[in-house]
Amino acid sequence: MGQFGRRGLFQWKQMDLTSWVIIPLLLGSAGVYGLYRVLQRLRSNAYIQDAVVVITGATSGLGKECAKVFYAAGSRLVLCGRNEERLEDLVKELSRIGKGSNQQTHKPHKVIFDLSDVEAVSSAAKEIFRLVGKVDILINNAGISYRGTIMNTKVSVDRMIMDTNYFGPVALTKALLPSMTKNGRGHIVVISSVQGRISIPFRSAYAASKHATQAFFDCLRAELAANNIHVTVINPGYIQTNLSVNAVTDDGSKYGVMDKNTANGRSAEDVAQIVLRAVGERKKEVLVAGVVPTLAVYLRTLAPKIFFTIMAARAKKERKMKEM
């Protein structure tokens, strides 16, 4: 059970100093690195196995794929979402996966609530504790995207997106943190976005919510460093999910379009595996994006004038396309 229940995977002090000198000489540099990776993977598996993992937005997309990989790794899941029927379907799907696996698995629990209803988060946290008693790892995944112009976007739409993408995860994190600090361990994960690092035209509300998320969890990481509570921020680029289809527009209506970039994005299955590894290795931040978005992140910092010029040109191009 690793940090979350077992005494540890290895009794390191049983190996004397001679062993630590001889092993690298026998293996060589490549062998040492390979051994390091194996030990790191074993330690990661021990960290996740049997840990109580809460996942929001588990009914579809990345949240659903995260549920699959953490379930297969032996975690005790609490699946959160708004649609009870879809959560039940996921539980059944996971059960089928478990029957064909050699890994010991645990039947997931379900908690139904709307993360955008901040008042409902407190009740949801109490239900989580009633079901499992504690939380080792929280994965804040639920979120909503947006397409629209700042001039035409109602403030109510800005508020709604902030409630879902920022205030909801913040409220749930705060509700679960006292238990983690009492237990002396825990891990908070947030699925942010590359747009938490840079802003692109016609995504103002979404980018703002992700910038706020990035800032909050960066502060949280620093404040909890002495409490043995880890914070991991995942910043993906485009993922092949229905995020753009379910996005809202400036008047609050559904966007309903699968963007080309989204359709050509990274698979949710691949990103879920990256999340699993990042959690197991206690990484502080992971940027999961292609070459261009990654360069844009650094360009924004190192050459902001060039970045602003590029974004202005992009906005002009997109506006012309919409007018055609």
DSSP codes joined into one string, 6-19: SS-S--GGGS-HHH
Burial class (CB in 10 A: 0-12, 13-18, 19+), 272: buried
The CATH homologous superfamily for domain 53-289 is NAD(P)-binding Rossmann-like Domain (3.40.50.720)
Cα–Cα distance, 12 to 26 (Å, whole number) = 19
In this prediction, the residues of the chain whose per-residue pLDDT falls under 70 are 1-42, 100-101, 324
Token output for 236: 């993906």
Could you identify the residue written with the tokens 């299955």? 269
Terminal C-alpha separation, the chain: 59
Q: Is the Cβ–Cβ distance between 279 and 75 less than 8 Å?
A: no
Secondary structure letter of residue 13 according to DSSP: G
Token output for 251: 């008047």
Q: Is the Cβ–Cβ distance between 279 and 55 less than 8 Å?
A: no
Q: What share of the chain is helix, strand, coil (3-state, %, to 5)?
A: 55, 15, 30
Q: Which pLDDT score, from 0 to 100, does residue 103 have?
A: 73
Q: Which pLDDT score, from 0 to 100, does residue 6 have?
A: 46
Q: Of these residues, 206, 238, 255, 298, which one is catalytic?
A: 206
Q: What is the dihedral of CA 185, 177, 214, 57, to 10 degrees?
A: 100
What is the tens place of the pLDDT at every residue in 187-216?
Answer: 999 999 999 999 999 999 999 999 999 999
Domain ranges across the chain: 1-48, 53-289, 292-324
Active-site residue, 146 included: no
Residue 41's H or E segment, with its range, is helix 17-48
Q: Is the Cβ–Cβ distance between 144 and 246 less than 8 Å?
A: yes
What is the tens place of the pLDDT at every residue in 276-300?
Answer: 999 999 999 999 999 999 999 999 9
pTM of the model: 0.86
